[in-house]
Amino acid sequence: MKVEKISAGTITRLVLLLLALVNSALTAVGKSPIPIDEEGVQQFITLAFLAITSLWAYWKNNDISKKARTKTEE
């Protein structure tokens, strides 16, 4: 029987979940895990949005030319 490898998406979700749990625990005990101001939050959100959309656009098969769209349909 062949066992599938753990996907990168699964590992990413697990790491993000662990970070969220640690962040929540630190917040619950009154620690500030990420000491940033409002401007820092805005910059982070903007950078995260840019990074996610850039990676998504790069990852997707964006067939722009007619020849590329024809090849995809085959």
pLDDT digit string, tens, across residues 12-66? 888 888 887 887 888 788 887 666 677 777 888 888 898 888 887 777 666 666 7
pLDDT at 9 over 80: yes
Angle at 49 between CA 43 and CA 54, to 5 degrees: 125
Q: Which amino acid is at 70?
A: T
Question: Two tokens at 42?
Answer: 């805005």
By the 8 A CB rule, do 32 and 23 touch?
no
Looking at residue 17, what is its pLDDT?
Answer: 84
Full-model pTM? 0.45
Question: Two tokens at 5?
Answer: 């490898």
